[in-house]
Homo-oligomer: A and B are copies of this chain.
Amino acid sequence: MNADKGYRKTNQRAMILSIVQEAETHLTAGEIFERVRQRDPRVAYGTVYRTLHLLARHGEVQELSFADQSSRYDARVDRHDHVYCTACGLLVDVDVPVALIARHVAEEQSGFAVANHHTVFAGVCPECRSHQAAGQRAGTKSANQPEQVS
């Protein structure tokens, strides 16, 4: 977690990395920016983006893109998959090693040399399911999320 990273250590970079690592969810750049500003209102938006790309390039965080147009950042840098709640937008990490078999199928079908893969599962989280069962209570977080899986 220390040693020479090949780039300068600044307060902004340390702050941004710790925000991603301590986050309870996969934050967007905008959400990270908000939390940075709570600690230091002088930090610029450009710095947040530049730092996130730097950290991603150095393997300190992982950048994820989903159906919504903004990128999200994950402190987990090993290969893993995600489950997405279509009712409230909750995003959860999962490990699906079974899917490794799938690479060979994909390679045979496409002729590609596959180096990586990522699966997004879409469904309904336990909390939203209990709300649905309880009779479609309104105002449950943000509804109307797209059903799209990507």
> A interface vs B, CB < 8 Å?
63-67, 69, 81, 83, 85-86, 92, 94-99, 101-103, 105-107, 109-126, 129, 147-150
Q: Does the CB pair B95–A148 fall under 8 Å?
A: no
Q: How far is the CA of A63 from the CA of B146 in the complex (A)?
A: 11
> B65 near A150 (CB under 8 angstroms)?
yes
Q: Please judge, given known A-B contacts A98-B102, A105-B98, A106-B81, whether A121 and B113 are in contact too, CB under 8 Å.
A: no
Q: Are B110 and A114 in contact (CB under 8 A)?
A: no
A-B contact pairs, 24 of them (CB 8 A): A63-B148, A65-B148, A66-B150, A83-B112, A83-B114, A94-B110, A95-B105, A96-B102, A98-B101, A98-B105, A99-B99, A99-B102, A102-B102, A102-B121, A106-B119, A111-B126, A112-B124, A112-B126, A114-B122, A116-B122, A116-B123, A116-B147, A117-B121, A119-B120
**Would you give the shortest CB distance from A95 to chain B, in whole angstroms?**
7
**How far, in whole Å, are A66 and B150 apart by their CA atoms in the complex?**
7
Do residues A120 and B118 form an inter-chain contact, with CB atoms below 8 A?
yes
How many monomers of this chain does the complex have?
Answer: 2
Nearest-Cβ distance from residue A88 to partner chain B, whole angstroms = 11
